[in-house]
Amino acid sequence: MIVFEYMLLIGLLICAISVNFTRHLLPTVIIYATFGTMLSIIWLLLRAPDLAITEAAVGVGIDTILFLLALTLKSALGFSCFWIIVVTSVVTMLYSMLGGFKAVIW
């Protein structure tokens, strides 16, 4: 088990270093998702399942979808990635606050 934990730690370091040397946004998003996946496994090994689930859902799932959506809309329409992520996040929060989240859960 110790070997697996060290492999995850080395993987995190490789992701953190390699993201600085990527020149394009898509590989950066993929490295970010990989980093989040490894981090959620580490949280699970540290017996913190609540943090592991949160990291997997938010850090890997929602953030990756937002970044990929921003990259797609940037290449298709020429919008700024920053504003795409801000507008999408605000719309998602408003939808959740107005009862949309309740409809999804129940």
Summarised one tens digit per residue, pLDDT across range 58-90 is 888 888 888 888 888 888 988 888 888 898 889
List C-alpha distances in Å: 103 to 79, 88, 93, 106.
31, 19, 14, 5
In whole angstroms, give the CA distance from residue 80 to residue 86: 10
In whole angstroms, give the CA distance from residue 22 to residue 78: 21
Give the confidence band of 106 by pLDDT, cuts at 50, 70, 90: low
At 39 the pLDDT is 92
In whole angstroms, give the CA distance from residue 85 to residue 51: 24
pLDDT at 54 over 60: yes
List C-alpha distances in Å: 23 to 26, 55, 87, 98.
9, 26, 25, 40
Q: Average the pLDDT over 29-46 and give the result.
A: 93
Q: Average the pLDDT over 42-70 and give the result.
A: 89
Neighbours of 4 (CB within 10 A): 10
Give the confidence band of 101 by pLDDT, cuts at 50, 70, 90: low
Q: Average the pLDDT over 2-6 and give the result.
A: 91
Give the confidence band of 100 by pLDDT, cuts at 50, 70, 90: low
- Nearby residues of 39 by Cβ (< 8 Å), 6 or more positions away: 12, 55, 59
